Amino acid sequence: MNNLTVIKIGGNVIDNPNALNRFLTDFAKLLGDTILIHGGGKIATQVAEKLGVQTTMVDGRRITDQAMLDVVTMVYGGLVNKQIVAKLQALDINAIGLTGADANIILAQKRPVKDIDYGFVGDIIEVDSGRLQSFLHQELTPVIAPLTHDGAGNMLNTNADTMASAVAVDMSRHKAVTLVYCFEKKGVLSDPTNDDSVIRELTPALYTEYKTAGTINKGMIPKLDNAFNALRNGVERVVICHADEVAMALQEGAGTTLRVAANQPES
């Protein structure tokens, strides 16, 4: 079975041209098949402000009304996605920019209203891994924006961490998949004020302990929930690392490696 690396890039890296260029240069050097999934939240907020569209966030998640859906579609599917594709082409990577609607690769449904109405936010129903596989067979590198569609003509804003997990899980039917979450931190930290306090290995039991103690909190929780879900559903490895250390992290020389069970000593 061939290897595939699914990488999600987000955080402040997308907003920093120099950091993004360094990451893409390293990404272009990775061996084997790759799929890149990106976020872009702060740029969307900046563009929305220029257009007079109010941004509302609840627990770090964007409320996506019709006006904001127009903004994120333009920014995620247009500006950010195509800039990344163009930069990769300059690095001799034949990238193809996609949303979930393109080639029907990711179908979703509008999130049901419970305590909060998130608006046009999508919960993923299905990933067409066969179609993504066909792009890879054509030596194309998919670059996927955090947008899906509902099959009825509507675009939906969708969490990029969730998309990365879903894509990795479905692609694991075809390939041995490593999922990497890259951002501006060196990994999952035991001390949020110390960037060098990287937890090198994280199991579900340790994750529960850190959450109970409040060490792991806020936006890291849904990221790790998605990561462990991927491991339980066919993905071979998950790594969380700094965008500048992606190559080292894939060799387990940096970042946090997630495991469903702790490594057992050799007998």
Q: Is 72 exposed, middle or buried (0-12, 13-18, 19+ CB in 10 A)?
A: buried
Q: Nearest CA to 38 among 87, 91, 92, 3?
A: 87
As a whole number of angstroms, the distance between CA 153 and CA 92 comes to 34
Residues recorded for the chain? 267
Domain boundaries, the chain: 3-258
Q: Nearest CA to 230 among 168, 174, 171?
A: 168
Binding residues for substrate: 40-41, 62, 157
| Angle, in degrees to the nearest 10, between helices 129-137 and 160-171 | 80
Binding residues: 40-41, 62, 157
- pLDDT lower than 50: segments of the chain: 264-267
As a whole number of angstroms, the distance between CA 78 and CA 72 comes to 9
Q: Is 61 exposed, middle or buried (0-12, 13-18, 19+ CB in 10 A)?
A: middle
pTM of the model: 0.93
Which residues touch 58 (CB under 8 Å, ≥6 apart)? 116, 118
**Alpha helices by DSSP H, 12-51:** 17-28, 41-50
pLDDT at 237: 93
pLDDT at 262: 55
pLDDT at 266: 40
pLDDT at 265: 42
Which residues touch 16 (CB under 8 Å, ≥6 apart)? none
Query: pLDDT digit string (tens) for 223-258?
Result: 899 899 999 999 999 999 999 999 999 988 899 999
As a whole number of angstroms, the distance between CA 251 and CA 171 comes to 21
pLDDT at 215: 87
CA distances, 222 to each of 202, 213, 229 (Å): 15, 17, 10
pLDDT at 263: 52
- Output the CATH code of domain 3-258: 3.40.1160.10
